[in-house]
Structure 1
Amino acid sequence: MPLSPTFSPSSMPQIQPRQHTPTDQMISTSGVTSATLVPAPALASSRYNRQLLVPQVRLRGQNHLLQSKVLVIGLGGLGCPAALYLAGAGVGTLGLIDGDTVELGNLHRQIAHTESAAEKGLSKVKSAAARCHEINSTIKYVVHEARATAENILDVVRDYDLVLDCSDNPATRYLVSDACVVLGKVLVSGAAQRGEGSLIVLNSPPTGNKGPCYRCVFPRPPPPEMVRGCSEIGILGPVVGVIGTLMAGEAIKIIARGGHLVGEVQEQELAEGKAPTPHTMLLYNTYAADPKGMFRTITLRGRRKDCVACGDSEALAKKGQSRITAETIARGRLDYQAFCGVMEDVKVLDDERRVDATEFLGGENPGLVVDVREEHEYELGTKVEGSVNIPISRILRLGGGAFDELERLRGSPAGPGVQSSGSRTGPDGGMVDNESHIPTMNGPDRGTINQETHISETHSGIHETTVRGGGMVNQETHVPVSEDVSPDGGMLSPESHIPLTRQSESDFPDPPQEVQTREGAEQQRDSTPVYFVCQRGNDSQIAAQRLIERVRADNGSESNSIWGWIGDVKGGFLAMEKFAGSTT
């Protein structure tokens, strides 16, 4: 058998190398160009890269943010986190307005400020602007070192696209809302006290099928004697942090989709056949027993056609009313302070039933002193030696019955530790009593919190208001529809910012008068005078009036009572501490 041929490279078929055609010949012969890279947009690799990846933002949304102008009103617990996140998100111009200076007591919750700012007494707007600049130095900051007033609000708001109301009082909220309606600005409004907060987007969209304004949701302000600030009832830092952060989030959402631009989103949604976004209020309670209940949403009816701020001309004409205009606000024809009853001291008692701090502290044997601060306030604050603590919430709920123990204490050497029974704060604190609008404490006679409704219930037969989860609200009051809701409510509790019913339609008390000398105590030498004291405000007057009413009901007149003069110390502990400090 012949041998197989030997394998050698020379025996392999020869392969001719491929001839490469020059590029210019390839273009001329085939008409095809080589692939080239288009650079990514500059924003894609910018500091905003991570939020650009969010589908609802993208390049279009970020461009909206960079071109927007946002105003934050109030640089406190709500305004600080809101401003910081808006600066980080890259709003083109960030305006800050506040008339206060930084204090050490602000720092536990107002996270844009520092100890250094407090020591130097810097204004809050300058302190916040400096902190925001450290986060983002590429945007513009405008500071307004002033309080928001009727004289300046229109000039300030006019230059911005969207407003965040982070103020801490009803009068400013009504003022800011009216200005935003007149100028066609979307408003994000937040509020928080103690362990609770709320958030609502108002006047959105600002034209066309517009949403409700603040007056639509809250036609009437809260009773002035019930309005108490964080300095009196307290606030948790994380609570304002949560609400302030959510406010910034709402602002970013609105701007990124062009919701601050008149007509753009509305026209797009109509073209796509989308239903209008429902108007809602978000409620937050950090003390909710069930974590699932920490956030709740209430659906609102929407704009009221007879609202004096944003209503229809025809509906207002039928009621003989006219709409609020820029001229109405600028010329001071609306007194927001008077509308909300905001006064240094509301007159509840007659002048002869009031003494000032100097007379009270300078006198001898003042009699029985009833301290009406809540138990935790009494525990932490300055006290009058021998005083009795009966919280105002108990007095408002039980009326004259709250004073049963005073007869037992009459003439006894009660020390500062004497307190009313059943005044302990339960682990689920922070809710309010439907009658008193004051946080309900747990105990045999102080009620509990309904875990489904988050509204307080009492064992004494006081009606309870049921908020049905996510349900609609009363068209007139904007309070969740319920068989037990009276038709005259509509305000948030100044304590919890949860919708409550209003119990009285009485006019606001007259402004305070000059203090006059107490009369009548010497006429009842065998009777014990009773002095009511509070931290500051009107709680002591209200409590004294309740005891007077009980005495008259029990005895027909005060002359037959075991109690002598009944009244309060004007200015409360704020005035007493000031007087005591000036004499040391």
Structure 2
Amino acid sequence: MSIEQISPAQARQRQQAGAILIDVREAHERAAGHAEHSLGIAKDALEADPDANLPDRGAEIVLICQSGARSLRAAQRLLEAGYARVASVDGGTARWIAEGLLMVVSEQSEADRDFYDRYSRHLRLPEVGEAGQRKLQAARVAMVGAGGLGSPAAFYLAAAGVGTLMLADDDVVDRSNLQRQILHTEDRIGVAKVESARIALNALNPRVQVETFAERITSDNVERLIADADVVFDGADNFPVRYLLNDACVKLGKPLVYGAIHRFEGQVSVFDAGRHRGACPCYRCLFPQPPPPEAAPNCAEAGVLGVLPGVVGLIQATEVVKLILGLGESLAGRLLHFDALGMRMRETRLRPDPDCPVCATGRAFPGYIDYQAFCAAQ
């Protein structure tokens, strides 16, 4: 049996005669405006338990959405559930407005208007929706490094609505940074990188809180930076900080999103051994010993393709968002290699080391070490 599709004017007439007009859009969509006297019941909620919302199966029901597609599908579900008098508004609220029928706009604070407008494309994703966006809004991400990897990642995490970004970097902006560190600009040369980053991120999304730490990360302050973080982002450019971050994240049970770049190649992984002992590896499982300095020169020594940190940093940012939302499959237990010259990606499976000095199951945290000396000794 086909669903009756009616015009907005006909829907209005039936509503005035006693029909129940239901807007099946999501709450954030209805907040921007809904048909006068309509009930708001999201499509998924209506279909999941129609009896809870519409106990009278003999009542006349008219469904409306934005364009008519969702309401038509919902009407079909109601018909299959035993509701005999169901219709859908052809053209939805878009046509309702075009025909001059009255819409009611819910009272909203400026913050709510900004939220629903700014994140409308996220809100349309069922996997994110308002609940997921609120998770992002409440999240805290600690980011070590406001340079090549931190720049693109911080931009996209701020744009995505991560509520608080804690940026740690003790460097200042140099002209040589501008080839790849897109948070910074010519007129901020000589400014602390974390302050330059704060200016850029607040210009993009003033609702994101940017906490700055113009400090070199050490064993004395690392826990102060990451203790309240939901996810830790590794944008460091040296091995001592990478080992320190790994150990602190294992101790405190924080997921660590790792990235590294060298000339034309990059790597990304997620180290989550702190929360999943024996199931996920840590950075030390991958690199029990740091390579000698001559085998891993930094960007200043070896050079780097300017766009490479953008690619790697955005993959890291994607992993951060997924971890906050609990979506998909993270890179925990996998190392992703990116070759820019060949435009290829390959994946290496990683296993936890049962004898790892930091993350082995049942092993107590051994304490922080002198990471500079540890890396220099290799």
Query: Aligned runs of 1:14-25 on 2, under 5 Å?
Result: none
Report the residue type matching 2:373 in the other structure: A
Label 1:81 to 1:143 Cα distance change in 2 as closer, same or farther (>3 A). Answer: same
Query: Aligned runs of 1:22-171 on 2, under 5 Å?
Result: 34-35=20-21, 37=23, 40-41=27-28, 45-118=116-189, 121-171=190-240
Report the residue type matching 2:118 in the other structure: R
Shift in Å, 1:47: 0.7
Matched, 1:312 2:361: yes
Ranges in structure 2 where 5+ consecutive residues have no aligned partner:
1-12, 32-111
Shift in Å, 1:56: 3.0
Label 1:276 to 1:168 Cα distance change in 2 as closer, same or farther (>3 A). Answer: closer
Q: Is the 8 A contact 2:274 2:359 kept in 1?
A: no
1:283 alignment counterpart: 337
Q: Is the 8 A contact 1:78 1:244 kept in 2?
A: yes
Query: Aligned runs of 1:90-489 on 2, under 5 Å?
Result: 90-118=161-189, 121-203=190-272, 206-207=275-276, 210-257=279-326, 279-288=333-342, 291=343, 294-301=344-351, 303-313=352-362, 323-325=364-366, 328-329=367-368, 334-341=369-376
Shift in Å, 1:312: 2.1
Give the length in aligned residue pairs: 281
Give the alignment's Cα RMSD to 1 decimal. Answer: 2.7
Alpha-carbon distance in structure 2 between the residues aligned to 1:209 and 1:215: 13
Query: Quick check: which one's helix share is greater?
Result: 2
SS of alignment partner, residue 275 of structure 2: coil
Alpha-carbon distance in structure 1 between the residues aligned to 2:119 and 2:161: 8
Alpha-carbon distance in structure 2 between the residues aligned to 1:131 and 1:276: 29
Shift in Å, 1:236: 0.9
Shift in Å, 1:237: 1.1
Alpha-carbon distance in structure 1 between the residues aligned to 2:273 and 2:23: 43
Q: Is the 8 A contact 1:56 1:257 kept in 2?
A: no
Alpha-carbon distance in structure 1 between the residues aligned to 2:258 and 2:156: 16
Q: Is the 8 A contact 1:61 1:257 kept in 2?
A: no
Shift in Å, 1:155: 1.2
Q: What TM-score results when the alignment is normalised by the length of structure 1?
A: 0.45
Ranges in structure 1 where 5+ consecutive residues have no aligned partner:
1-19, 27-31, 260-274, 317-322, 342-506, 509-584
Q: What TM-score results when the alignment is normalised by the length of structure 2?
A: 0.69
> What percentage of aligned pairs have identical amino acids?
40
Q: Is the 8 A contact 1:162 1:186 kept in 2?
A: yes
